[in-house]
């Protein structure tokens, strides 16, 4: 799929105020600093459509972007950032629960995990939660430019082993890098297929 247009629509802390249109929607979620906003910029070929930062906790709101005038990409705040207060964590949990509970437009979520790390409980618990709530998701491994192919393979295997303990199949997954555009075409093709279903 070619990206012909990508526009920022709005930022919200209230799910009820998100766009009312029925356009298909794809949400990017994962730990703080995993590369959600960078991935959105890479996919849309816009350098600073989504705001990125080296400091975790940059994205604080639900951000909608309209792509090719017919689908939405959603940039969500990260979870699992230790230096956030308990209250902030609660607020975050509430609006993420609301987001996934209320957005009927959501076709699938992309759960981003840093390819350099071994499977982390916070990510596995989040995937479990999505599964229990019947929310389809794919895994997106990020920052693949930081590892050699063999190490990438090992990390993916580690995920497969642990996920297959509680899931029948390994969820769909993508290996990406926002620095060198690895995985861009595969991800866009996947979204295109879902849009046309
Ligand atoms: P929050 O909004 O804080 O939750 O973070 P985020 O998940 O949106 O991460 P963001 O895209 O802001 O990126 C965090 C940091 O990782 C930035 O310094 C990026 O430059 C870097 N980064 C993101 N993707 C990649 C990648 O594919 N490769 C490399 N090498 N660095 C990356
Ligand atoms: Mg962000």
Phi, psi of 193 (to 5 degrees): -60, -45
What pLDDT is recorded for position 78?
A: 85
Q: What pLDDT is stored for residue 83 in this prediction?
A: 67
In this predicted structure, what is the pLDDT of residue 52? Answer: 86
Q: Which of 28, 30, 31, 33 to mutate to test the pocket of ligand 1 (most atoms within 8 A of CB)?
A: 33
Spacing, Cα 86 to ligand 2 middle (Å): 20
Distance 54 CA to ligand 1 centre (A): 7
Whole-number pLDDT of residue 90: 79
* Predicted TM-score (pTM) of this structure: 0.94
* Atom of ligand 1 lying closest to residue 41 CA: 11
pLDDT computed for residue 152 by the predictor = 96
**Can you give the pLDDT at residue 196?**
94
Query: Ligand 1, atom 2: nearest CA belongs to which residue?
Result: 59
| Domains recognised in the chain with CATH numbers | 6-195 (3.40.50.300)
Contact 177, 183 (CB under 8 A): yes
Distance CA 123, CA 121 (A): 5
- Return the structure tokens found at 55: 């400091």
What number does the ligand 1 atom closest to the CA of 81 have? 4
Ligand 1 pocket, CB under 6 A:
32-38, 52-54, 56-59, 77-78, 142-143, 145-146, 177-179
Which helix (H) or strand (E) segment holds residue 97: the answer is: helix 86-102
Q: Give ion ligand 2 contacts, CB < 5 A.
A: 36-37, 58-59
180 Cα nearest atom in ligand 1? 27
Give the pLDDT score at 58: 75
DSSP annotation of 147: S
Cβ neighbours of 114 (radius 10 Å) = 19
Residue to mutate, 178, 180, 181, 183, ligand 1, most ligand atoms under 8 Å from C-beta: 178
Q: How far is CA 22 from CA 72, 100, 169, in A?
A: 10, 15, 30
| pLDDT recorded at residue 53 | 83
* Residue 82: predicted pLDDT: 63
Question: What is the mean pLDDT of each successive set of 10 residues along the chain, which is 197 residues long?
Answer: 96 92 96 93 93 80 95 90 73 85 96 95 92 95 97 95 90 97 98 95
């Amino acid at each position: 799929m070619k990206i012909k247009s990508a526009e920022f629509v709005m930022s919200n802390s209230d799910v009820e105020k998100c766009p009312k249109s029925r356009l298909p929607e794809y949400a990017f979620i994962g730990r703080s600093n995993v590369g959600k906003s960078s991935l959105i910029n890479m996919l849309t070929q816009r350098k600073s459509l989504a705001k990125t930062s080296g400091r975790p906790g940059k994205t604080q709101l639900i951000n909608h972007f309209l792509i090719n005038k017919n689908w939405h990409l959603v940039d969500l705040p990260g979870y699992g950032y230790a230096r956030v207060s308990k209250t902030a964590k609660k607020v975050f949990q509430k609006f993420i629960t609301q987001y996934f509970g209320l957005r009927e437009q959501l076709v699938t979520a992309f759960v981003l995990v840093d390819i350099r790390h071994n499977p982390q409980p916070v990510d596995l618990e989040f995937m479990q939660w999505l599964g229990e709530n019947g929310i389809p998701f794919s895994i997106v491994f990020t920052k693949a430019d930081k590892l050699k192919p063999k190490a990438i393979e090992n990390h993916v295997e580690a995920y497969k082993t642990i996920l297959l303990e509680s899931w029948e199949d390994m969820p769909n997954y993508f290996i990406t890098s926002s620095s060198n555009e690895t995985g861009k075409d595969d991800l866009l093709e996947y979204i295109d297929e879902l849009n046309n279903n």
